[in-house]
């Protein structure tokens, strides 16, 4: 059985730094949020040029991925396919756009990452790069 772990500030900084490095390289503006397994914020970065709406969207993407244990885009797809509105979750923080991913270690969700501010596919790519950098250090 794997030991329960929760993402901490040191791990969150690895993710945030990885995304920030990529944003600088691409000259892009976005927000990155890292949350614990309950979806509560651990670390956040808003880069230069980040659209204001992306602040809450990044946090909500990470929240959704942590709470549901799947990428935020999957939650949105399921909502549309099953006709189950996101408002039925009873929490306005649920969001169905891509860019939120759970962070899974030894089969346990230790947190999640959300990126918002660029095209959806790029948000998803950056979030996954941040997670990959963290997992490379573990």
pLDDT tens, residue by residue, 60-72: 999 999 999 999 9
For 58-90, give the DSSP string: HHHHHHHHHHHSS-HHHHHHHHHHHT--GGGGS
pLDDT tens, residue by residue, 101-132: 999 999 999 999 999 999 999 999 999 999 99
Domains and CATH numbers, the chain: 9-132 (3.30.450.150)
Q: Which residue has the higher pLDDT, 13 or 87?
A: 13
Contact 100, 61 (CB under 8 A): yes
Strands 41-46 vs 100-105: parallel, antiparallel or unpaired: unpaired
């Amino acid at each position: 059985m794997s030991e329960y772990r929760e993402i901490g500030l040191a791990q969150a900084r690895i993710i945030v730094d990885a995304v920030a490095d990529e944003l600088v390289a691409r000259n892009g503006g976005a927000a990155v949020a890292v949350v614990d397994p309950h979806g509560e914020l651990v670390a956040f970065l808003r880069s230069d040029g980040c659209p204001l709406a992306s602040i809450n969207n990044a946090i909500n993407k990470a929240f959704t991925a942590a709470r549901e244990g799947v990428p935020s885009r999957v939650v949105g797809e399921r909502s549309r396919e099953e006709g189950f509105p996101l408002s039925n979750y009873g929490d306005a923080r649920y969001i169905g756009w891509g860019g939120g991913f759970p962070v899974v270690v030894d089969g346990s969700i230790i947190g999640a990452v959300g990126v918002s501010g660029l095209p959806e596919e790029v948000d998803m790519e950056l979030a996954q790069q941040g997670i990959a950098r963290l997992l490379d250090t573990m």
